A and B are shown apart, each in its own frame.
Chain A
Amino acid sequence: MANYRDQGIVLRTYKLGETDRILHLLTQGRGKVRAVARGVRRPGSRFGGRLEAFSHVDLQLYEGRNLDTITQAELLAPHARIRTDYAASAAASLMAEVVDHVAQEGERDHAVFLLLRSGLQALDAEPADPAIFVDAFLLRLASAVGFHVFTDACAVCRTPGAHVFLSVKAGGALCADCAPTGTRAVDRPVIDAVALLARPGEWTVLPGLARDQPAARATAASYARSFAEHHLDRRFRAYDAVPRP
């Protein structure tokens, strides 16, 4: 069995036996990895607090038949402030749950890795309203795995324009010709809010959206949830735990 080194973010942990834990990690090089950390629940364990959920760590592991085993862990970013704030912790749990669902073992996905890392960094900066980062994360993650939300062109015929019909199933904004009867028309600020949530890289502008456009944001947030749950084919359990304004 081979030894290997990789960096990863702890998605979640399960207790195993008296003192061990099974960890689900998103690694940079190998996609999702399931690994055992022996003795980690014993006070004074050599891993200490490094392998808690949301930690970004540099790991040494050896391969097993079912589960790999962690032999060393160095901390790259603890994201410790997330864990001491209920709203941030619930938001991070949702991000981890979504990634745990979409990531595949042995399939490297750098876009998803970077997205999760930046999302956790945003939550670690003690935001007043962590929920807005969840809304953005859902649309950005869906996009990273192939379900991009259309906002500046019709999702069906690709005609550019400021369309106002909004559909979850069709994948975004629709022009009047493509919108099936009964499709909901929304105010343009809602489409703009969806576009801002989905735009890669921009985390710092999000609190401004939450502050300045509360109504559009609320509609865009529930759209983001429906969009992610429909296209990623799963109801996310942690979603309701995230406090909303």
Chain B
Amino acid sequence: MYEGAVQDLIDELGRLPGVGPKSAQRIAFHLLQIDGPDAQRLADAITRVKDTIRFCARCWNVSEAEECRICQDPRRDPAVLCVVEEPRDVLAIERTREYRGRYHVLGGAISPIDGVGPEELHIRELLARVGEEPVEELIIATNPNVEGEATASYLSRLLTHHDVRVTRLASGLPVGGDLDYADEVTLGRAFVGRRELGA
């Protein structure tokens, strides 16, 4: 244990995702050594982000205004919604430059074992959007793990009686990899998700 202020900083850093006690200590002592203005810039950036960034009232992406840039962009197709778990998934999909529709950020995934149910996510808001906006297709892009699959299955059940096409992002072989290195689960999913070639 260290003196008051240093220990407080270590404790705060240790609460960040992916930062263990050792890393928290290392970062804290790094911050102690950097120049005053550098440290101030970091502190300002944190304060500014908390003051100016909120969640988009429509899609729950991070936003500096009432609605985010994607929701406000008239060139984005309002008939297609891509449903993701977190705002950082929006960034990942935007980087592909393949997608021209809009988003809906759930704010997590259903996890019964952690007590996270559908009510904890922005699912009610998604249903409202499907009712009010000219949505024709929902692309469910939750993570291909237990929680993401449970969420996808829950949503597809929920939306069976709505007049909207529900699709799931394909899972399969990593591009550039060798087939014989793929595990059975991934290869099995790739078979299920195979598609027609040509024409």
Contacts and interface: CB of A to CB of B under 8 A. Distances in A.
Contact of B113 (A12, A15, A240): A12
B145 A48 contact: no
Interface of B: 17-18, 20, 110-115, 117, 144-146, 149-150, 153-154, 157, 174, 177, 181-186, 188-189
26 contacts: A12-B113, A13-B145, A15-B17, A46-B181, A46-B183, A47-B183, A48-B182, A48-B185, A48-B186, A49-B186, A75-B183, A75-B185, A78-B185, A83-B146, A83-B150, A84-B153, A86-B110, A89-B112, A89-B150, A93-B150, A94-B112, A97-B112, A100-B113, A241-B110, A241-B112, A242-B112
Interface stretch (A50-58, A104-112, A135-143): A50-58
Interface residues of A, number: 36
A49 B182 CA distance: 9
Interface of A: 12-13, 15-18, 43-44, 46-50, 52-55, 75, 78, 80, 83-86, 89-90, 93-94, 96-97, 100, 237-238, 240-242
A83 B148 CA distance: 9
B155 to A, nearest CB: 9
A215 B52 CA distance: 55
A98 to B, nearest CB: 10
Top 7 closest A-B pairs, CB basis?
A: A48-B183, A49-B185, A241-B112, A238-B112, A44-B174, A86-B153, A93-B112
B150 A90 contact: yes
A189 B185 CA distance: 43
